[in-house]
Structure 1
Amino acid sequence: MNQTVNQIPPYRWAKRARDSVAPEGGTTSGGDLIELGGGFDFPDALPDIVSEAMAAAELRSETLQYGPLYGLNDLRDAVAEYLRQDGIAATRENILVVNGAKHGLDLACRVFLEPEDPVIVAAPTYLMAAKILRHAEASFVSIPQDEEGMDTEVLRDRLQARQDAGESMPKLLYDMPDFHNPTGIPMSAVRRRRLVDLATQYDFVIIEDDPYRRIRFEGEAVPPIKAFDESGRVIGLGTISKILAPGLRIGWVNADPAIVRRIAAHKSDGGSCPLLQRIVVQLLRNRKMDQHVATLISLLRVHRNAMIDAIHEHLPDTLVRVPNGGYFLWVRLPPGIDADELVRRAAKEGVSIISGRLCFAEEPPGSFLRLAYSFSTPADIVEGVKRLGRAYASIRSELETSINRIVRS
């Protein structure tokens, strides 16, 4: 018989787990709830991998055994070739296969961070990265962004001030320079090179998270930060989750071999699933992934445009930047509109969104929303923003009533 709540023993939780309770339920919304918050893949664009899965199953002496710790050599070679297309000098020895990019970040935290070690992040930053860093008991050095990405001059001033004051210096910097989650901002080449220079000068390691680089709608690509790295100061995190299918759970760490070997020693799963790895190898080699990405770009460009147009119509007085790629829009709300309250009211209207408050490692300035155009159809995006507009209008109406009352009094 299951124990009742009152019968649960007084477990002696670890400090890091005392306030951590994962919600139950699925990863995507269902029923009449329109999903405009989570960065899920577009269901209609998920690839057909039946032939690749069948071919992988024929190699069952490989694919149904425990996988090698570092990953299948064929996949490591294929990933290295994939990265060389972006000007990154990678070989098999630089690649560790992991269960998605977040797994790679978690492993990097294990080998670099002690409790309270400072980590540099953008403000705002990827909400799940902030969560992983908090679980590693890191402290934060939050650096603002502008239209070129993380402000490296502010970063330099903050680092020099810490050094002059004898404070502990950051070991790691985490950022997502291509179509940043949540802002959508791509970091300029000048800033990328400057980050590498600062990492050398102030002795920290850059973690470059790169899930969206291939999802580009317009503009010219900028070399990854790792392409400017000549001394092993950059750890690249990659994944197929956003460019192929998140359910395959395959990502990689691209780093100096000394870092790869140290991280691999903390990989408690032994080796990532070889069946899934073999499927990904085939998709890379037969160019199916390239074809899939091209299709995805065409679809998501339509999604993005539908959401931008709907925001202009239904969310007056908000500010939104049009990203050249990725999955997300970062919406600044006008003064007096609380994002958390808007999230609650939107849910009652049947639309799921995310408060920008979750995207700041420290105290957030202003009020923002992170909206995702990746999962829902264009028609659902328009309907979802329309519903969000009703929630937004109700808050604005109450705010105007309150201001009028104060003015009359």
Structure 2
Amino acid sequence: MKFLVSNIFFFITTTIVIFVIVSGFYTGFIFYVAMIISWLGFLYCAYSYYKNSERLINPTTCFCLSVFVFLVSRPFLSLLMGDEVISIGLGITEENIIKATLFVMWSFYLINIFYCFFDKPAKFILNGMPDIKIKSYTWSNVFLLFSLFLSFLFLKNSYFNYNVLSNNENYFSFISSLDFSYFRYFFISKYFLILYIVLSKSNKSLLISTSILFLSSLGFMAIGLRGYTIAYLFLFLLAYDVKYKIKLIPLIVLSLSLIILSASVLSFRLGFDVFENDSYLSIILKTIAQQGATFEVVFGAVNFLDEINKCISYYDYFIQGIPFGDCVDVSRGVYFAEGGFASSFFAELVFFWPILILIIPLFSFCLKLLSLSYDQILSSGSEKKSSILLVFFLLPNLVYFARSSVFDFIEKTIISIFFILFISLVIKIIRKKDA
């Protein structure tokens, strides 16, 4: 109840500040007041989510991490470092920056508020899902061996491509010419791990599967694709935390090491040392701020919505498949020859504002469902397979939700539920035939 009341307070406060700014009463003082309120509200919510489970790595802390790293880190760190919040484009003013920041926090609080109301509906769905009670020591080990073999093939091909890329001066022009069909080895390996989880007798099936998946995903890091590796690292850390409970200091050391490694990957992709002569503290802060580039998409969506609507319609989005992020870039005067700032959950919330009040509750429900699945794993000692599979499927997506499509996490939750129901149905059919 305290968490709900606090979020309602922060939501109302943020709404009032937004109203004041939109009404034309913006001043420099409001900028700092709004940033402080946003910072305090975010820290309170993140700490509350941690205290709820007493685990550093859980779905709700990953939700907060995604919002922080990919969005609010940029405006917050700019106050500490004095760097530009928005690096390129039109309309770069303090007022427009704070509008985007407040919209992210407004949506963040609203997600938290709805999250508090979905405990019973999410439990109803989760308890209604059939538990998969089938175990086969032989077949589970066979699928595990298949997964290991495919992981080896994936890593071998990634190592070969790493050698090719490291000897080429232009990463971006050369990487498009490489054959990445071997990526299928990684994803087929993941399917075999799903079968291993379903059939395994071990109560460490989630930990074993996620460790293999993470080690295999290092092949993506080797060729400069950090996202997969980081997402599957957090899935592994969650599984490890379930069994052994990660301490704060080792997690901080790991996180800082990961940030420095991420900075090295960026230098590898660009072909020069981006952080030459910088201290480790400067490297860490700049790398986090660089990940916060997704904030620029939200900035564009909040402040250039009319121009975006001229570039893309709902028909273009759903039927034609026109990239939303490209339209945001063009609408705010950013013209990249290739690449761009991509999209963001919160930027697309602005675009879909007529149904925002439907999207946010759906997202909150999916987050609650994932959180309760995690709670079941903690309480049952990893016995309920449906909960294990939901966490296995959804957590990597949640880690990157802030820079994904507005429907991505919701779609994957629905697909995962139907996939689990399909597996359960297949098992029932097999058992009837054997009976």
- How does the TM-score come out when normalised to structure 1? 0.28
The structure richer in strand per residue is: 1
The structure richer in helix per residue is: 2
- How does the TM-score come out when normalised to structure 2? 0.27
